[in-house]
Amino acid sequence: MRRPLGVSVIAFCFLLAGIYLCSVAAMMLILPGAATAIKPALFVTGLKLVSPYWTLCVGTAWALVAWGLLRLKDWARWTAQLVLGAGIVWAVPMIYVTKMHFGWRLAAVCLQLVLRGAAMVYLFRFSVMDAFQTNRHS
């Protein structure tokens, strides 16, 4: 069975996130002071709080999940669903903790939550699960 287009889009998003995290981690390892220079970039303020080695591992894991989704591996579908769900559960309280005001940042976070939820629900669809099951038996 062919890979559904939605699975390809989700895998591409996971791959982009993995590449982004790995490149920022590599830059932080090669040029330790670079984190302050790229402060306006997305997610860099959060990445400064964790080790670049941890960021590199997480980026590699996201890229591995992307590869698994592209190969229609069922473990990758389950992992993607868990990661997307955990991201939703983590982001909702962070909106309140950071006391985010109404504006473009809150709109971006809400859009991200909606997209994560839509991707998670999409991976639970029977037609998508059938594509992964068919690939297992091939």
Q: How much is the pLDDT for 107?
A: 81
Q: Is the pLDDT of residue 43 over 90?
A: no
Across the range 13-30, mean pLDDT stands at 89
* Site of tokens 């790229």: 38
Q: Where are the domains of the chain?
A: 5-137
Across the range 51-60, mean pLDDT stands at 88
Task: Indicate the pTM of the whole model.
Answer: 0.82
Across the range 49-55, mean pLDDT stands at 80
CA distance 115 to 87: 11
Q: How much is the pLDDT for 92?
A: 80
CA distance 39 to 47: 10
Across the range 28-49, mean pLDDT stands at 66
Across the range 76-89, mean pLDDT stands at 93
pLDDT band at 27 (very low <50, low <70, confident <90, very high): confident
**Environment class of residue 57 by beta-carbon count within 10 Å: exposed (0-12), middle (13-18) or buried (19+)?**
middle
**How many DSSP H helices and E strands does the chain contain?**
7, 0
Identify which of 93, 91, 84 has the alpha carbon closest to the alpha carbon of residue 117. Answer: 84
Q: Is the pLDDT of residue 46 over 80?
A: no
* pLDDT tens-digit map of 95-109: 777 666 777 777 888
